[in-house]
Amino acid sequence: MSRRHQNFRNYRQEQRLTQNRVIASAIFVLIMMAVLLARLFYLQVVQHEIYQTKADDNRVMLITEPPPRGLIYDRNGLVLADNRPIHSLTVIPERVEDIKTLRETLSATIDITDSEWDDFNNRLSEYRRPYQSITLKSQLTDEEWAKISVDLYRLHGVQVEAQLTRYYPFGEAFAHAVGYVGRITANDLQKVDRLVYQGALFIGKTGIEDFYEDTLFGQPGLSKVEVNARGRIMSELERQNPTPGKDLHLHLDARLQQYAHDLLGDYKGAVVAIDPKTGGVLALVSKPSFDPNMFVQGISYGNYSVLRESNSLPLFNRAVRGGYPPASTIKPFMALAGLEYGFSSWTERYFASGFYQINPGGRRYRDWKRTGHGWVDLERSVIESVDTYYYQLAHKMGITPIHNFLSRFGFGESRLLDMYGSSSGLLPSSEWKRAKYNESWYPGDSVNVGIGQGFMVATPIQMASATAIIANRGEYHYPRLVDKVGDEPIEFDDKVGQLHKITLKNQGHWERMVVAMRKVITDDKGTARRLQGTEYSIAGKTGTGQVFSLREDEEYDAEALEKRLHDHALFMGFAPAEAPKIAVFSIFENGGSSGKPADLAKLLFDAYLYDDFPTRYDYLKGSNHER
């Protein structure tokens, strides 16, 4: 159609039309360019600060550098808890394109176990700071390190980090005394300042490591770095160095600790040695034990359940939590109670037959010696450990004076100053029994308590501490593990840290009691006469704790009983008796007779007093060993 009308076309009009449209387009272009400029103005001027902040958030990263943890030394400067450099393979999940692909790529290079991946995934789902690395495999071998280093450039988000890990060079003998650190869990983070623990790997879980966490941890360093989009650090903008944690110096003597640990042999049990002058714990052994190093990098579930479910309870710290009947080792305290309240005297004599009855014809409380001891005084009752003497004494006194007096020695109370979770044992009273069993206190209950059985329960640390009080003739410090923080003496709350004193109505009783306990060894009938023949003087008291209640007329027959039903064997003692330097309490669970713990104590005295440990312990001597 248009072709036919070609001749009539108005070219000028068409030209004007298209030119107008070009002009309209030019206006359109100008308007749209103005829109772009307005948009850029909005972003670059109006919202500039928002985006400036975003850009800085992108490129500036705060990295906390965990401080090196304070070391733990024994009294001779031997390192019991050390820091060791390791190289670990860590991953920043935010930088990884795809974890699955990464897993495939990595497994071609080095071995990463399924459980390591499980741990990694678990930690991935836990709370963490964005861009914080997660350890995938710790403690790379040199070979693994070399292999992975070659591939690092193409593994975004993967790095090899040099870290410090905790190391306990002497393993299980010290596990219960020093404790251990472990990986920080979500639970732990609720108790601490997350900011401070950013980037930290470990936190104290038990023992000294736990109690002194704040001191050992130190102050983290802060470094402000510029990173690129792949998380690579391009430059450091600002830096504040970490303040290392403070070192701790323990009262503990590593050789004494190891020696005591070894002397317990295959027995379950505990040994606590205390310096009576300071309350410092020289040895704190609980057996069986475990290798604390297992917990540092995270213990495998399998290993953990073995430890947890073992009948011998290796994770249980018997020395501070184990509740044992103190048995005959309570007798010196019971005797002092009788003296204090006028229920007995050094001169009064008592005829000890083979048993004691509250009422004629009533229940017979048997003496360990069927034939009885004949006429005995207070001193002899200690020397020969006369049960009937204490049956009658406890019966006469009743529970209230017993409770009041024994509590002054720390029974029924947790006095260990610097470890969490120590048990307070059980020092019974009639109120306690009423509350617990809704029953009144029977005289027979007192009779049992008289020989440290029945309701009475004490921990080895309580027994050792009480022993030290007698050793020091009434003056004492609460037991503590740490001596110095860095170079400064440890400071505890004034009331508990200071010197305490038990003042008897007649202070002479202390010395008399020491003499009696001395005769436990020196007397021909002394229950610990096997310890005779030392150049120095030992004072002590044996004990045999019943695990298995014998009926009234039954004879204890070790042969016939299963080992787990054998009596616990106990010994408390100190040396030299005149001016004690060490007090020891030891218990062999199901150890039978008290010979084993007594022998153990003597060997510890020998070694400690003369600094004459078997040469096999020379490696535990420490660097600033003197004397």
Partner 1 sequence: MKDSLYKRVIAFTNARLWQLVHVDVLLVSALMILVTGGLFILYSASGQNIDMVERQIFRLTLGLGVCLALAQLQPKYLRRASPLLFVFLALLLIGVLLFGVGAKGAQRWLALPGGLRFQPSEFMKIVMPMMIAWYFSDRQLPPSFKQILVVIALIFIPVLMIAKQPDLGTSLIVAVSGLFVLFLAGLGWRYIIGAAALAPIGGYVLWQFMHGYQRQRVLTFLNPESDPLGSGWNIIQSKTAIGSGGIDGKGWLEGTQAQLDFLPESHTDFIIAVLAEEFGLLGCAALLLAYFLVIARGLFIAANAEDNYARLLAGSLTLTFFVYMFVNIGMVSGILPVVGVPLPLVSYGGTSIITIMATFGILMSIQTHKRAR
Our CB check for partner 1 shows the closer of 9 and 308 to be 9
- Residue written as tokens 């440890």? 490
596 CA to centre of own chain: 27
Shortest gap between Cβ of 136 and partner 1 (angstroms)?
21
- Provide, rounded to whole angstroms, the least separation between the CB of residue 89 and partner 1: 24
Is 328 one of the catalytic residues? Answer: yes
Neighbours of 60 (CB within 10 A): 13
Looking at 286, 328, 381, 446, which residue is catalytic?
328
Element (H, E) at 17: helix 11-41
- Quote the least distance from Cβ 122 to partner 1, whole Å: 22
Could you tell me the smallest distance in angstroms from the CB atom of residue 74 to partner 1?
51
Helix (H) or strand (E) run with residue 449 in it: helix 443-450
| 3-class secondary-structure state, position 526 | coil
Identify which of residues 156 and 396 has a Cβ nearer to partner 1 in the complex: 156
In whole angstroms, the minimum distance from the beta carbon of 12 to partner 1 comes to: 12
Nearer to partner 1, 32 or 496 (CB): 32
- CB of 46 or CB of 146, closer to partner 1: 46
CB count in 10 Å sphere of residue 90: 19
Question: Least distance in Å: CB of 234 to partner 1?
Answer: 7
Q: In Å, what is the CA distance from 37 to each residue of 23, 25, 30, 52, 606?
A: 21, 18, 10, 19, 92
Minimum separation from the CB atom of position 98 to partner 1 (A): 12
- Of the two residues 35 and 306, which places its CB atom closer to partner 1 in the complex? 35
In the complex, minimum distance from the CB of residue 62 to partner 1, in angstroms, rounded to a whole number: 16
3-class DSSP string for 339-394: HHCCCCCCCCEEEECCEEECCCCCCEEECCCCCCCEEEEHHHHHHCCCHHHHHHHH
Binding site for partner 1 (CB under 8 A): 2-3, 5-6, 9, 14-15, 17-19, 21-23, 25-26, 29, 32-33, 35-37, 39-41, 43-45, 47-48, 50-52, 54-56, 58-59, 226-230, 234
Among residues 142, 96, 136, 139, the alpha carbon closest in space to that of 113 is found at 136
* 462 contacts 478 by C-beta, under 8 angstroms: no
- Per-residue CA distances from 321 to 317, 422, 588 (Å): 6, 5, 15
| Between 31 and 560, CB nearer to partner 1 | 31
| Separation between Cα atoms, residue 129 and residue 492, nearest integer Å | 36
Query: In angstroms, rounded to a whole number, what is the distance separating the alpha carbons of residues 480 and 461?
Result: 10
Residues 88, 159: Cα–Cα separation, whole Å: 8
Rounded to an integer, what distance in angstroms lies between the CA atom of residue 493 and that of residue 482?
14
Helix (H) or strand (E) holding 262: helix 254-263
8 Å CB contact between 185 and 31: no
Q: Are strands 181-183 and 374-377 parallel, antiparallel or unpaired?
A: unpaired
- Cβ proximity to partner 1: between 24 and 152 the closer is 24
Report the residue number, 15 or 345, with the smaller CB distance to partner 1: 15
- Alpha-carbon gap, residue 553 to 282, rounded angstroms: 42
DSSP H or E stretch at residue 286? strand 281-287
Shortest Cβ 30–partner 1 spacing (Å): 8
Residue with tokens 């020969």: 384
HEC per residue, 476-522: ECCCECEEEECCEECCCCHHHHCCEECCCCCCHHHHHHHHHHHHHHH
Q: Decide whether 17 or 306 has the Cβ nearer to partner 1.
A: 17
Residues noted as catalytic: 328
